[in-house]
Amino acid sequence: MSETNSVFIGKKPVMNYVLACLTLFQNGSELVTIKARGRAISKAVDVAQIAMKRFATGIKVKDININTEQVKSNETGNINNVSSIEIYLSK
Amino acid sequence: MSETNSVFIGKKPVMNYVLACLTLFQNGSELVTIKARGRAISKAVDVAQIAMKRFATGIKVKDININTEQVKSNETGNINNVSSIEIYLSK
């Protein structure tokens, strides 16, 4: 019951990811990690805030990490640095 | 020397804010706070990562907070919830 479950933030609507988080908690997860890169970082924060505040279910932010990842561009083959975030939610 | 100094992230290029942070540290600050709301949150993480990694100056992330702020729209007068982030950098 203590394994880590992750939700990767992409281009879908915010509510999809909020529901994904809430479902993981509902299914017995105690720690859910929201991960995002680049422009999706803002959306990751939205997801965490909505999961915590609108659905007042005792979910809290346990920790937040930021980092830099190297991403190879498919078009140019260049390696770019992209910021990333990991938001750890616990119940 | 221990007062908190803040850098608010807006629409300027990332490097402007990186330089603002580095200047604050150079002038003797021990704690610099990067603040951003909404879409600028991704840029705030970029600023923190560049200040830490590209300019290897011993700057570290001390803490990160995320929150929700109520912003009143100038156009419609509606109150919107906007996510915000505070990244605390220390030397």
- Whether residue A49 and residue B61 make contact (CB cut-off 8 A), yes or no, is no
List pLDDT tens digits, range B23-40.
Answer: 999 998 999 999 999 999
pLDDT digits (tens, 9 = 90+) for A8-45: 999 999 999 999 999 999 998 999 999 999 999 999 99
How many CB contacts within 8 angstroms connect chain A with chain B?
47
Indicate if the pLDDT at residue A1 is higher than 60. no
pLDDT tens digits, residue range B33-65? 999 999 999 999 999 999 998 886 789 999 999
Interface pTM (ipTM) of the complex? 0.86
Give the distance from residue A91's alpha carbon to the nearest chain B alpha carbon, in angstroms: 17
Q: Is residue B87 less than 8 Å (CB to CB) from chain A? A: yes
Cβ atoms within 10 Å, residue A89: 24
What pLDDT sits at residue A44? 97
CA dihedral A21, A23, A24, A30 (to 10 degrees): 90
Provide the Cα torsion A72, A76, A82, A84; round to 10°. Answer: -50
Chain A residues in contact with B84 (beta carbon < 8 A): 45
